[in-house]
Structure 1
Amino acid sequence: MAPKNKSFDPVKALEEIENKFEMFQILDQDGKVTNKDAMPDLSDDDLVELMKRMVWTRVLDQRSVSLNRQGRLGFYAPTAGQEASQLASQFALEGEDYILPGYRDVPQLIWHGLPLTKAFLFSRGHYEGNQFPEGVNALSPQIIIGAQYVQTAGVALGIKMRGKDTVAITYTGDGGTSQGDFYEGINFASAYKAPAIFVIQNNHYAISTPRDLQTAAKTLAQKGVASGVPSIQVDGMDPLAVYKVTKDARDRAVAGEGPTVIETLCYRYGPHTMAGDDPTRYRTSDEDSDWEKKDPLVRFRTFLEEKGLWSEDQENEVMEQAKEDIKKAIKEADGAEKQTVTKLMELTYDDMPSNLKEQYEVYKEKESK
């Protein structure tokens, strides 16, 4: 006699999937190693270099906010709090890998080879800010939310077709996972086993919208499961954990095993952008204080100091160097050729339409005065 079919409980199945996504961590917020077996293979010099980059980038963020308020920068999305998520993931890449960033991901571009002057010109909307030097394998920061996910799937497929041992990595925020491009991108990459790494920087707010108001998913990492993509949730304030999961994802990708989705739990200390957002209207001071205790620079500093690899003098030296680098770069940006309407038209069209030719002549006359 055939056994009776047991009824399938979809609610229970969902709960079982969700409960399997536990946050991966190596360093706790006190800088203590909680997962020795997962420690990445990084030399002392590597650890110090990663800390230098995080400190340098925190200074860059502080100065960029100030420059924006002075009217010397244009569009700017603060990065303080997300240094481990951004820089430790980039640290796991090779120079030949491709980065397809969102608008908050300029630091990864800089450490991938983009001159700081170019980053400042991008913020100002200057066309030279989108002219990357030869060998910088990256696209300009994407402004359209989630669009970089579809582009990354395409770039990764191109890498695979050319037989290259490289990957394409992209970033979006928690809000980006509610966009159609997010699902299309990871599904396409999964179907073709393209060497892509999809990073979700879950800083808990899509501008002012709390993460729990835009999706009922218990984790954002689990969104990759339906597309057959290995996915993981990681402590995005822990540079060692972020490096580890990104390095593992890269290794799988170049081995032909396809894409990975990485959700980094992190926090942005500043506003969404400097374009009028006021986080005090939707975040509490208690919430800010709780996340400040998890600061990636503080915990990594503690870890390195206990190993005898970091000191206050070293940190001050990096901070001073960052200030000098920023001062030099902003001066170079100030010296860039003034952007004109006619120049933009020349760069846009090889064969200009007749109606624009008329406008071109009008602007050319205005600019000559």
Structure 2
Amino acid sequence: EALEIIKNAKIPFVVAGTKSDIAGVNSESLKGQLEKEGVFFEGRGGDVPFISVSAKTGNGIQELMDMLILVSDVAELKGDPKNDIEAVVIESGKDKMGHTATVVVRNGSIKVGETIFAEDVEAKVRALFDDKGTSVREILPGNPAKIIGFSEVPTVGASITEKPHRPEEVESKVRGIFDLRRLKDDEIPVIIKADNAGSLEAIIASLPPKIVVVGSGVGEITSSDIIDAKTGNAYVLSFESKIPADILKLAEVEKVKVERFQIIYELIQKLEEILKKGTVQIKGHAEVLASFPFNNKKVAGCKVLDGRISKGDALVLQRSGKEIGKTKAASIRKQKSEVSSVGPSEEFGVILDPQLDFQIGDMLLSVAK
């Protein structure tokens, strides 16, 4: 996709082959793969430069920088500090200093005290930091900077200008917690939080089919995320964002699955494992021991074999291992008292909605997506 954008825009570019310090990494093999995508290198019938680099050893980094300068000079890519601001957000997030964005200035300049806009997100520039983390008063064309002062976290890829402007409308992959009713039986809802917008965007773009994002954001997992997850039986996944102790405790009480990751690949791998296991999780089993009438309805007298059965749970009625129907625990009573849930070895009565034609010896399974 990135190559198509570059080629369609006719933008000059350089290919950097990473991990050159690792034995077995073959730059010729990489070139061959890219040539199949229409990228032709210098010395092989094309004009695209290729530089092997290693972030670990520093090998090739200076050569890459020199080549970028050369390519920009040949293409006459120049910026004028006196022109209107043209910059792009390459990273964004939230830290102790507030909402931040790392940008690269293409044209014009950005000064401390100015008001700028990342599309329609306003920023009163309170501080600027260069690529070395040094506080500066102004950033000129061709330079990156971290900007402090945005009213909210801007999106990665947003253009920076002096006036607010609307971004192009794109179809969002995030449906929202209130779209749960539209999920298919084989889809799994998740809420994803990350420490920065770039990581969040990369994760959402890499999700396997059938994984549906019903909530996302930059920052720590909050109590609202846990309540939303409980409402929709969603998983809550954190990438590098911290999970406060009180939130972990709330998740445990509400029986919401929360997990933290530091590598995107491991997060995606976890979701693939969930898909392989299936969308349904069994929360508890109960055996039907008796049947008796109550207000023109049948009550199933049951005993919990394992797990828990709670009021409002989705239930599956089985007979000899075969599914008879799906229903819901509309009311649970223990002796004469209404209770919210029952655990192992407890006997109880349950009113099913809708009513099913159960028999003594049938099994009720409490299930959740």
TM norm. shorter chain > 0.5: no
Higher helix share: 1
Question: TM-score, structure 1 length as denominator?
Answer: 0.24
Q: Whose relative contact order is higher, 1 or 2, with alpha carbons under 8 Å and at least 6 apart?
A: 1
Higher strand share: 2
Looking at CA atoms only, which structure, 1 or 2, has the larger radius of gyration?
A: 2
